[in-house]
Each structure stands twice: as C-alpha cells, then as structure tokens.
Amino acid sequence: MAKQKIEKTNAARLLDKAKITYELVPYEVDENNLAATHVAEQLGEDIATVFKTLVLTGDRTGHLVCVVPGNHEVNLKAAARISGNKKVEMLPMKELLPTTGYIRGGCTPIAMKKRFPTYIHSTCLDHAHIYISAGVRGLQIKIAPQDLINFVAAEIGELSEVMG
C-alpha cells in the first residue's frame, strides 16, 4: 500500500525554514468530537503529550495564546497573572478564524495571522516530544517541547489544571 502524501501546512513550512526537526502525524477526524482526548486516542498517545492551543483575550494585553495538555483546562486567573492582565477570557469561537487564521480543532501556536504572546504549560518539559495541531484538523506536529518554546518565543508556566 502506498504511503499517503501529507500536505505541508504553513506551520510545517515555517518549521522547515527554521530547520527545526518535527514530524507530521495524521489522524482520523471526528467532526462531532474535536476534543484532544479523541486526538490522543487516534494517535495512540498519552493525553499528557497532546497539547491544545487556546486563544484568550486579556484586558491589558489583548490576545494571547495558551498551549495546555489535552486533559487540562486553562486556569483563567493563572493565565491572567502570567500574561500581565487583570483578567482574561476565552476568545469567542466566531472570532477564532478571523483572529488567528485557524478553525477550532486546527489551531496551532505556529503561523497565526499575527504573533501573539504565547504561554505553554510547564508539563511540556516532562516529555521528549509533544503533539500540537499542524494548523488543520486531522494533522498533528510531533515536536520537541524546547524547539516549540524557542520557535514561538513562549513563556513556560502553570496555566491550567486537570479537568475533572
């Protein structure tokens, strides 16, 4: 069986240009279940290594990006504190595409329309590789956390807690 050719996304092209090692990993999309837990199951990976990209708006700094493990939810107080805001809130879904260039389930911290301050949960450093969206549904980027941190100039912090 011939290996399916994977279309490179803008995020992948930028990583290539920066000579950063990564792997594109396709998975089966379920339009009714865009949760990171579904992605982790499809990849056969631990949910702690599959990170989701969330866009928030701060009252002082404007938009910011939080990248957290798939089984976590952003702690808004912690995100506000780390980003220098008094309060932050999730970006309304209808504003995601016009703000970032990405749709829900395909949002990546790499190659957004504008460069926003980016914060990645500290547990990323517990893993040799993490998965983030490649910028489209059905495709993940497997990357060394430090490479991602350096590339998007992210700050590391305690941004989230396990959903429960």
Q: What is the pTM of this model?
A: 0.94
Taking the alpha carbons at both ends of the chain, their separation in whole angstroms is 42
- Taking CA atoms, 44 is separated from 4, 50, 57, 80, 136, in Å, by 19, 10, 33, 33, 19
Q: Is 15 helix (H, G, I), strand (E, B) or coil?
A: helix
Half-sphere exposure at residue 49, Cβ-oriented, CA atoms within 13 angstroms:
18
Residue ranges of domains in the chain, CATH in brackets: 17-162 (3.90.960.10)
- The tokens of 68 are what? 């957290």
Q: What is the mean pLDDT of each run of 10 residues along the chain (164 residues)?
A: 72 97 94 90 96 97 97 96 97 96 95 96 97 96 98 95 78
Half-sphere exposure at residue 134, Cβ-oriented, CA atoms within 13 angstroms:
24
The amino acid that residue 24 corresponds to is L
pLDDT at 104: 93
Report the candidate in 30, 4, 10 with the shortest Cα–Cα distance to residue 134. 10
Are residues 148 and 99 in contact, defined by beta-carbon separation less than 8 angstroms?
A: no
For residue 50, the 8-state DSSP code is B
Are residues 14 and 101 in contact, defined by beta-carbon separation less than 8 angstroms?
A: no
pLDDT at 118: 98
